[in-house]
Amino acid sequence: MRASAEPFAVERTQRSRFSTIDFSNLPFGTLFSDHMLIAEYRDGRWREPKIKPYGPLTLPPNISALQYGISVFEGLKAHRSPSGDILIFRPHDNARRLNRSGGRLAMPVLPEHFFVEGLRTLLTLDHQWVPKSEQGSLYIRPTFFSVDTSIRVKPADEYLFVIFTCPIGAYFSAPLEVLITDDYVRAFPGGTGDVKPAGNYAPTLIAEQNARNAGFHHVVWLDGMERRFIEECGVMNIFFVLGDCVVTPPLTGTILGGMIRDSVLTLLREMNLRVEERKFSVDELCEAHSNGALRECFGTGTAATVSHIRRLHYKDRDLKLPDIEQRTVGPRVRERLVNIMTGREPDPYGWTELVEVSASAH
Ligand SMILES: Cc1ncc(COP(=O)(O)O)c(C=O)c1O
């Protein structure tokens, strides 16, 4: 999909850090591109976004983003195609999810073009920061938060919307070993598990830390009511291959509807696989492992796209899964999706959006 860039006011950095970056050895999430986008909301209306040099914001300590967590965010990526084009993956869908998250925290609607056209303008300016296709991708973090200074607990009157980006290295996650926990829950009916407020993440850290201390990469979250049904894995959606069927938990209000989850579901159906979005209990998981039906398990999310899981642990049950080389579903769907995202294969679904970079800038 191609659309023209709507220019927003741009203040260019006088001190680009681009030439200091080693693109053959990029860390995850600690290096930020030269510019960021900022839009302000006050007196009941949005001001036009501006693009400025990336840098600190000066804010009072009493803002309700800090005090009460009135803050929501998104995560998406842009890739460089083999011919050098920049492709953003599903930005309109991320913009809509950001507004669903904001709506849940009584925040005003963010105009979708601030997100999508703003991002396009930002990437046109910082196009060099999108790594070459074999080196990695550009991770994009839109953040929308209150800068209201009242310490009353109330919907905020003033907000900022910021987009910053970071180049990240090619991310091939080693197969994961995960701990199914019933000590803590991530979400519960009527809560915020199906959206992305900042406050969803801090309470998961202790469970993730405990899992890491016990030798696992991530926690698998169970439902908050019965602690029986599998919901997510770390900050990923989760899929199981059982015989010739692929099962993933349904979006019934406690699970984040991932863009990668949705894309993977589409591609699995394209591959003529039987797909079921249904509740899947830990008892059924153990049973499927015992009778040999459980062939694969993988997590999906923007950071790693598809992460294979090789071992699940629940109480005294240790469930080892077949080697990645023997798998047919996870590796295939990952390859197809990555090829679409990076422009190696045509995109029949309109997921990728091309950023115009003038010929002289290439
Ligand atoms: C809790 C949670 N689940 C799932 C996902 C995967 O979502 P996506 O595929 O949009 O990256 C994320 C990442 O945003 C997440 O934070």
CA of 98 to the centre of ligand 1 (A): 12
Q: What is the pLDDT of residue 255?
A: 98
Q: What is the pLDDT of residue 170?
A: 83
Please state which of the ranges 6-10, 27-31, 110-114, 317-321 shows the lowest mean pLDDT.
6-10
Q: What is the pLDDT of residue 360?
A: 47
Express each pLDDT in 76-104 by its tens digit.
Answer: 999 999 999 999 999 999 999 999 999 99
Residue 6 confidence class, pLDDT cut points 50, 70, 90? low
What is the pLDDT of the chain when averaged over all its residues? 95
- In angstroms, the CA 218 to CA 202 distance is 15
Question: Which ligand 1 atom lies nearest to the CA of residue 255?
Answer: 3
Range 111-139 average pLDDT: 96
Residue 362 confidence class, pLDDT cut points 50, 70, 90? very low
User: pLDDT: is 175 or 173 the higher one?
Assistant: 175
Instruction: Indicate if the pLDDT at residue 207 is higher than 90.
Output: yes
Q: What is the pLDDT of residue 281?
A: 98
Q: What is the pLDDT of residue 358?
A: 64
> Which residues are near ligand 1 (CB < 6 Å)?
75, 232, 235-237, 256, 258-261, 300-302
CA of 237 to the centre of ligand 1 (A): 7
Indicate the pTM of the whole model.
Answer: 0.96
If phi > 0 it is left, if psi is from -120 to 50 it is alpha, else beta; for residue 326 that is alpha
CA of 197 to the centre of ligand 1 (A): 12
The b/e string for 275-296 (b: 16+ C-beta within 10 A; e otherwise) is beeeebebebbbebbeeeebbb
Range 311-329 average pLDDT: 97
Nearest-CA residue for ligand 1 atom 1 is 235
Task: Please name the residue that has the structure tokens 């997921």.
Answer: 351
Instruction: Indicate if the pLDDT at residue 361 is higher than 60.
Output: no
Range 171-195 average pLDDT: 94
Residue 267 confidence class, pLDDT cut points 50, 70, 90? very high
Question: Which ligand 1 atom lies nearest to the CA of residue 302?
Answer: 11
Q: What is the pLDDT of residue 2?
A: 41
Q: CB–CB of 142/179 below 8 Å?
A: no
